Structure 1
């Protein structure tokens, strides 16, 4: 079926989508009782579950399912509300199951040193696939990274040519030197990866950016790079850096803001509550 072919295509491209399927019917409905509709992240659809306002509600439910990762069963009684059907005034009822299909997140870890090791391990623990790349075999092998999907050692350029990041991919650059970082970053900004992060001091980052601009990489491409990488939690050692970086990755994948503007203490929460803001309302409900 065209619906499933498109679902596979979206998944392979690293884009989320949701499948709406009619699962039960009663009486006359404006679609086949086995009808399916795929809703893509850009709201384009393949197939139909009957049209009308009901289908519009299903599209909204599908977008929500992609955002929160939760399936939902939605019931419609066309007899009670004939505007919900496609205009044929069928008068039946139906249940539609909306199921999100979220692409697997793959972390391409460039650099298998101390930071790379603990970052890759933590990313694996939160459910990401991990691919480790290093130009030194002793830092990219199955013994050092037994949890990795792949470990690639050798020339950066040759290894990068073997990779195919998609829209759900994460690239983290923590190689052993400025030149390696620069070469990998020049490749990374040309990929569809949705998250690109590079470790380093502000001075190092400015230097690499200047060299890449001189080499023809655009400022727009470089604006995609998170550098300095990670949430600002004062991380100091490799383990703390890994926590800050993976936390930022999670925030990116979940569409969250990380620590930006978030209350840090219970006192902050009560100050927010007393200000009468929406956050205060949430606190009031939580304490009820």
Structure 2
């Protein structure tokens, strides 16, 4: 699966990617072709795609929403945008960092923890972290890569270390940066950095004191308030507006599924992709699931009996080849009979892969 290898490589490099899948049927044979383009090169590599699909690819990369184009009933084009996995860098390995790392990992963040003490910076203490770095706060940034999908939390044990982290962070690119501390302490640090010549507009973007106002007291509650604020910066167009802000409608995708596909194993299977939804549904467009001939699955499109019906179709597709679009109805008595709390419909694309 060279396409998925390229896709994952670009995502790991911090780039947005769009994958174009063209499903074609002439009445006798069904075929599928895929191409992957990163955001910086996708509009110059293929003249045909550039002229015909450019607006849809641009829309997908801008909005984060999957695009479906049907042509004359015999061709279906699916344009899927993919965004790098959000990365949370926790600077400081103390009592708040531990529950914060656990929560962030459960929410899909790739987590890096940094501390200058080996007793605090070790994998045994942070089993959910993707990386634990034992290094000084002055030097650790030589080992870190920050980009537009990086979220930084500063929870060190002292004023001097906070200052070292801030000096480095304000010079980097990030989606979110927050620091723990009292308003008095935060004000003092900002004033010192201003005197040192750091730009005020960047310092004003710093979220400090950190976290949502939920009355948090315990380390676990404080971690919850912090990750809540981080998620708001990931999901809302204007986090400061809270529930009144519009939601960023990025497509869903399961990284485990992409990693499995990127391995390029020569085995028959089917990939199921949610291509459109209406109403209340358990998964958004872009969610993927793999199905093997023996009934094994990886990923999910929402569970329940409806997923079971899709798995059965996938087994038929694996045997016969080609592809099929299937509608899943979660409305009315169907949802009630299956014990679902949803009330919408989904369309899924089921493809055979070898």
8 Å Cα contact 2:86/2:151 also seen in 1:
yes
- 1:189 equivalent in structure 2: 170
Whether 2:74 is the aligned partner of 1:60: answer no
- 2:112 equivalent in structure 1: 131
Q: Of residues 231, 244, 251 in structure 2, which corresponds to 1:250?
A: 231
Q: Of residues 157, 160, 163 in structure 1, which corresponds to 2:141?
A: 160
By how many angstroms is 1:184 displaced?
Answer: 0.4
8 Å Cα contact 2:16/2:61 also seen in 1:
no
8 Å Cα contact 1:37/1:45 also seen in 2:
no
Whether 2:55 is the aligned partner of 1:74: answer no
Whether 2:51 is the aligned partner of 1:47: answer no
Whether 2:150 is the aligned partner of 1:169: answer yes
By how many angstroms is 1:145 displaced?
Answer: 0.7
8 Å Cα contact 1:43/1:63 also seen in 2:
no
- Given the superposition, is the C-alpha separation of residues 41 and 224 from structure 1 closer, same or farther in structure 2, using an over 3 Å criterion? farther
Whether 2:199 is the aligned partner of 1:200: answer no
Tell me the distance in 1 between the aligned counterparts of 2:8 and 2:123.
30
Post-superposition CA distance 1:175-226 (Å, at most 9, x none): 0011100110110111122211111111111100011111221112213311
Tell me the distance in 1 between the aligned counterparts of 2:227 and 2:25.
45
Whether 2:19 is the aligned partner of 1:24: answer no
Q: Which has the higher helix share?
A: 1
In structure 2, the gaps of 5 or more residues are 245-278, 280-341, 344-354
8 Å Cα contact 2:14/2:84 also seen in 1:
yes
8 Å Cα contact 2:15/2:38 also seen in 1:
no
By how many angstroms is 1:58 displaced?
Answer: 4.7
Q: Of residues 140, 145, 168 in structure 1, which corresponds to 2:126?
A: 145
By how many angstroms is 1:37 displaced?
Answer: 6.6
TM-score by length of 1: 0.71
8 Å Cα contact 1:198/1:226 also seen in 2:
yes
Q: Of residues 212, 215, 227 in structure 1, which corresponds to 2:193?
A: 212
Give 3-state SS (helix, strand or coil) of 1:100's partner: strand
- 1:122 equivalent in structure 2: 103
Post-superposition CA distance 1:146-176 (Å, at most 9, x none): 1212212232222222112222111100000
By how many angstroms is 1:261 displaced?
Answer: 5.4
- Given the superposition, is the C-alpha separation of residues 46 and 255 from structure 1 closer, same or farther in structure 2, using an over 3 Å criterion? farther
Post-superposition CA distance 1:98-146 (Å, at most 9, x none): 1222211111110111111111111111111111111221111111111
8 Å Cα contact 1:36/1:47 also seen in 2:
no
- 2:14 equivalent in structure 1: 14
TM-score by length of 2: 0.59
CA RMSD of aligned residues (A): 3.3
8 Å Cα contact 1:230/1:245 also seen in 2:
yes
- Given the superposition, is the C-alpha separation of residues 44 and 205 from structure 1 closer, same or farther in structure 2, using an over 3 Å criterion? farther
8 Å Cα contact 2:19/2:34 also seen in 1:
no
Aligned residues: 241
Post-superposition CA distance 1:245-277 (Å, at most 9, x none): 1112112122354573538xxxxxxxxxxxxxx
- Given the superposition, is the C-alpha separation of residues 199 and 218 from structure 1 closer, same or farther in structure 2, using an over 3 Å criterion? same
Give 3-state SS (helix, strand or coil) of 2:191's partner: helix
- Given the superposition, is the C-alpha separation of residues 125 and 45 from structure 1 closer, same or farther in structure 2, using an over 3 Å criterion? farther
8 Å Cα contact 1:231/1:259 also seen in 2:
no
Q: Which has the higher strand share?
A: 2
- Given the superposition, is the C-alpha separation of residues 42 and 240 from structure 1 closer, same or farther in structure 2, using an over 3 Å criterion? farther
8 Å Cα contact 1:169/1:195 also seen in 2:
yes
